[in-house]
């Protein structure tokens, strides 16, 4: 049965109670814990997974990786062997009630990096650059968004214009709201709807300032000012694809 994904409804939920639905050993020997619901973000959409702790009474299970499978089940992976066994022996077993705690610092970094990618998208749209958004990566060591399309003119000038525009977007602040809807309706709110939207979780858009919609399953800052200083160190075009690298001060 699919895991209920609590982070989809609320970007800020970092703890919840849940029931263990299955415990198995992963191929690499780690313990794989499945729950009826979770606030842990599994890696996806270019955003890294959460880490944290799952507790039942005094027993604590360390989560060091989170994956969403094709059936919509979230796998909370943590150390096997003695450590994992001890947690399981102490009460983290099928049917047990547990409390989840996401590592807030790591989530905040991932959320800021992910949101920064959308700010670049918004700047690109406001500058009317002739680009169609493609994939992105929002990791501390590697943050970029890709577009199909060439750089229309001088690369350094375009880089500077995007950097200025993202600063403006951040300076203005924002509101956003979450809306769930069939993929077929997303075109009403989003200028670009990719044709590879995952089908193993509820389809969602995040709507910025009632005007700029993005199909997205990640976690976002409440207000774009929370991202902080965002720079564009590099733009590179190759074979019709333009890669805009970005950096968030203090985390990249």
Using the minimum distance from each CB to Zn ion, give the nearer residue, 151 or 248.
248
Q: Judged by CB, which is closer to Zn ion: 59, or 178? A: 178
Determine, following the binding rule CB under 5 A, whether residue 84 of this chain makes contact with Zn ion.
no
For Zn ion, the closer of residues 78 and 117 by Cβ is: 117
Considering the complex, what minimum distance in angstroms separates the CB of residue 18 from Zn ion? Answer: 25
Nearer to Zn ion, 9 or 154 (CB): 9
Distance CA 37, CA 18 (A): 6
Restricting to residues 106-125, name those near Zn ion by CB under 5 A. none
Binding-residue pattern over the window 172 to 211 for Zn ion, x denoting contact by CB under 5 A: ----------------------------------------
Q: Is 218 in the site for Zn ion (CB under 5 A)?
A: yes
Distance (Å, whole) CA 72 – CA 74? 6
Which C-beta is closer to Zn ion: that of 12 or that of 64?
A: 12
Report the residue number whose CB is nearest to Zn ion: 216
Between 18 and 216, name the residue whose CB sits nearer to Zn ion. 216
Q: Determine if 216 is a binding residue for Zn ion (CB under 5 A).
A: yes
- Based on the shown chain and the rule CB under 5 A, indicate whether residue 215 belongs to the binding site for Zn ion: no
52 binds Zn ion (CB under 5 A): no
> What is the nearest approach in angstroms of Zn ion to the Cβ of residue 11?
11
Residues forming the site for Zn ion (CB under 5 A): 216, 218
């Amino acid at each position: 049965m699919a895991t209920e994904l609590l982070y989809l409804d609320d970007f800020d939920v970092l703890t919840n109670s849940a029931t263990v639905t299955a415990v198995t050993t992963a191929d690499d020997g780690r313990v794989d814990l499945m729950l009826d619901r979770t606030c842990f973000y599994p890696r996806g959409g270019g955003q890294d997974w959460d880490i944290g702790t799952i507790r039942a009474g005094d027993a604590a299970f360390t989560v060091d990786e989170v994956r969403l499978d094709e059936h919509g089940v979230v796998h909370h992976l943590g150390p096997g062997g003695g450590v994992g066994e001890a947690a399981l022996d102490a009460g983290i077993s099928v049917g047990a009630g547990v409390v989840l705690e996401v590592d807030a610092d790591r989530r905040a970094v991932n959320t800021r990096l992910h949101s920064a990618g959308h700010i670049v998208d918004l700047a690109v749209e406001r500058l009317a650059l002739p680009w169609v958004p493609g994939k992105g990566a929002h990791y501390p060591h590697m943050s970029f968004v890709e577009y199909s399309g060439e750089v229309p003119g001088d690369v350094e000038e375009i880089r500077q214009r995007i950097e200025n525009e993202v600063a403006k977007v951040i300076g203005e602040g924002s509101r956003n709201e979450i809306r769930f809807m069939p993929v077929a309706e997303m075109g009403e709110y989003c200028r670009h709807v990719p044709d590879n939207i995952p089908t193993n979780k509820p389809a969602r858009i995040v709507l910025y300032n009632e005007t700029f919609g993005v199909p997205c399953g990640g976690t976002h800052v409440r207000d774009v000012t929370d991202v902080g200083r965002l720079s564009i160190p590099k733009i590179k075009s190759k074979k019709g694809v333009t890669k805009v690298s970005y950096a968030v001060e203090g985390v990249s």
